[in-house]
Amino acid sequence: MYSSEKILQEICYLLSLNNGKLNLLKLIKELYLIDRLSIEERDTSLSGDVYFSLPHGPVLSSTLDMLNDLQYKNNNNIWNNFLLSKKSRQDYYPNIILKKEISYDRLSKKDKEYIEKISKSFYSTAPYELERYTHTLPEWEDPKGSCKKIKFKTIMLALGKSEDEITVAKQEYDDINRLRN
Alpha carbon of residue 92 to chain centroid: 20
Closest CA to 45 of 117, 111, 136: 111
Region 137-142 average pLDDT: 96
- Cβ proximity of 63 and 78 under 8 Å: no
* pLDDT at site 49: 93
The more confident residue out of 104 and 76 is 104
In this prediction the pTM is 0.93
Q: How far is residue 162's CA from residue 166's CA, in Å, rounded to a whole number?
A: 6
Q: How far is residue 175's CA from residue 15's CA, in Å, rounded to a whole number?
A: 32
pLDDT band, very low/low/confident/very high, at 41 (cuts 50, 70, 90): very high
Residue 155 vs residues 22, 50, 107, 129, 158: alpha-carbon distances, Å: 25, 12, 23, 21, 5
Minimum mean pLDDT range among 27-31, 92-96, 169-173, 176-180: 176-180
Alpha carbon of residue 99 to chain centroid: 19
* Whether pLDDT at 176 is above 90: no
Minimum mean pLDDT range among 35-49, 86-100, 105-119: 86-100
Alpha carbon of residue 100 to chain centroid: 20
Q: Which DSSP string do the residues of 48-74 spell out, in sequence order?
A: ---EEEETTEEEEHHHHHHHHHTT-TT
